[in-house]
Amino acid sequence: MEKLRSFLKKYIPQSDVEDLIGSFHKVRKLKKRTYLLKPGQDCSFLAFVKKGTFRVFFYDGEGTEVTVWFSWEGMMIGDLLAFYKQSRAIFYVQAVEDAEISIVNGKELERQYASNPEYLEFGRRYAEHVSINVMERMLSLQTKSAEERYLELLANPGYMKNIPLKYIASYLGITDTSLSRIRKNIS
């Protein structure tokens, strides 16, 4: 639970987070390529990634897979859009490699918020953090070329190293063919 503790402490460093940690009680292991969520399912929970990598994706109007988000060890995963909208799952959430997660149910989380306003502050700060990340990705999509966006990804640690290029391509908003050509250009 050490990783979960330091994750939570990032948002509410002053608070005792033991009760909150305790509410992430359901543990699941997922084999590579299996699904944590599919569209239409109940997705009123958040999961903390203890091990592995996930991707969030859907099929667009033409039946093409679009990867919306990735999540690695030490981060949260789930269908956050649907979670915040309080709707059924919109996306697929799939393990990109063998993974292990701890889950907190949405109702349980609300109870934690109600019992301790410091946890409510966690909810707020986490949502703000999500806003920041999504805004920055949005800006990148709005203003940068596919090649620039790809270089941006590579600038990060080695996060992308086990991710198939076709997932990365759709995350960048381009086809795998185009990404392949961009890679050729760069090298």
**Per-residue x/- marks for its own copies, 39-78, CB under 8 A?**
---------------------x-----x-x----------
Q: How many CB atoms lie within 10 A of CB 57?
A: 18
Please give the helix or strand (H or E) that residue 95 lies within, else none.
Answer: strand 92-95
Burial 126-149 (b: 16+ CB within 10 A, else e): beeeeeeeeeeeeeeeeeeebbeb
Would you say 1 or 153 has its CB closer to its own copies?
153
Q: Looking only at residues 148 through 177 of this chain, which bind DNA when binding is defined by CB under 7 A?
A: 164-166, 173-177
- Which residue of 145, 155, 157, 161 would you call a contact of DNA, by CB under 7 A? 145
Strand partners, 93: 37, 56
Parallel/antiparallel/unpaired status of strands 45-51 and 99-105: antiparallel
Q: Which residue has the tokens 């790809």?
A: 150
- Which residue of 25, 32, 85, 111 would you call a contact of its own copies, by CB under 8 A? 85
**Per-residue x/- marks for its own copies, 101-140, CB under 8 A?**
------------x---x--xx-xx--xxxxxx-xxxxxx-
| 40 in contact with DNA (CB under 7 A) | no
Residues forming contacts to DNA in the complex (CB under 7 A) are: 32-33, 62, 145-147, 164-166, 173-184
